[in-house]
Amino acid sequence: MPAHFEVLATESAARRARLHTAHGIVQTPAFMPVGTQATVKAVTPAQLHDAGAQIILGNTYHLNLRPGPVLVRELGGLHPFMGWDGPILTDSGGFQVFSLAKLRKMTDDGVSFRSHLDGAEVFLGPRECMEIQSALGSDIAMVLDECPPWPAEPADVRQAVERTIRWAQACRDTWRELGQPEKGRHLFGIVQGSNIAELRRECAEKLVALDFPGYAIGGVSVGEPEHEMLAAVAASVPYLPADRPRYVMGVGTPPQLLRMIALGADMFDCVMPTRLARHGCAFTPDGLINLKNAQFARDPGPLVTGQANYTCQNFSRAYLRHLVMCNEILACTLLTIHNLQFYLDLMTQARTHLEAGTFSKWSTAWCVRYEAGAKEAEALSEGE
């Protein structure tokens, strides 16, 4: 087993493991709060630590456009720049190029696009992608990949897979040329293939032959129904090595995370807990609640009884609703603290149950309760 990844316990396909990085150990399964522009919106690094965050995510596309990798490197890299001393993963920027950038032109060399900020022309290829992430100094970097839309024609998915594999090899070679492995920095390959199981297998097997320190499953949560998302993960995991971390990109709801852990995934990131916090929503074991609903106007209870975070220990649902209705900035901070801690605590519980051999029973019951509560809340909301 590679020195950077240790599997400590298993239950069927689910794993409890430990990932070593240059800035510390990540206990998995792990959720990574998204710090797109070198900040997790509405919270400080100290609040992230208090919430239980081990590792956070930064975005190569956005950080390349501003403040730029040269400035970040001059100031010591992302860690001192943003005041975060734990591990950082940076994605390649490929997804944002395909989803945000206008007038993009893709070739086998890379992709040219117009910045969504000022329309300036930018080129991102495998070398550029690796040089930017090297300058940012992240602990885990991602290869440049092509994420096909959903739905997509099989021929287009085939082309995306072939380009992803070709770019992955170029990224790996550049990463080594830049001396990043010697600094303890990991580079992960990304499995594409949309909802075509045969292409997912092919992509995974060819990436494994390139011997990356870890592997991601990309091209999920791009508009497909949940059953197809889970099927894409299930079609990828069996062909990834058991002695390397597996990261599902851009997901998901709490039940989705538990179901993907059961499939053998180790790491996740998603903007959902922070974005929904800024829209007045909070996660609970009985589903998502919208504090704009009038039923919370006089509710003296915490968001979740017994939840060990600053928000639940100090503020009522009524007060939080008041902040939301007044558009107070504090609402974003308090709800973000709660939502992130809820996600991170869920991962802590998953690790504990994996160690005890009770994950399957516990996670099934957890999802049943959550989804039953979510249906009830939806029905009440429709009745208002």
228 CB-near residues (< 8 Å, 6+ apart): 150, 195
Q: Annotated catalytic sites, by residue?
A: 91, 269
- Burial degree of 306 (CB within 10 A; 0-12, 13-18, 19+): exposed
- Contacts by 108-116 with C-beta closer than 8 Å and gap 24+? 108/163, 108/166, 110/144, 110/167, 115/65
326 CB-near residues (< 8 Å, 6+ apart): none
Q: How far is CA 32 from CA 91, 113, 318, 344, in A?
A: 12, 28, 30, 8
Q: Which of 26, 59, 35, 48 is nearest to 271 (CA)?
A: 35
Residues 317 and 254: their CA atoms lie apart, in Å, by 21
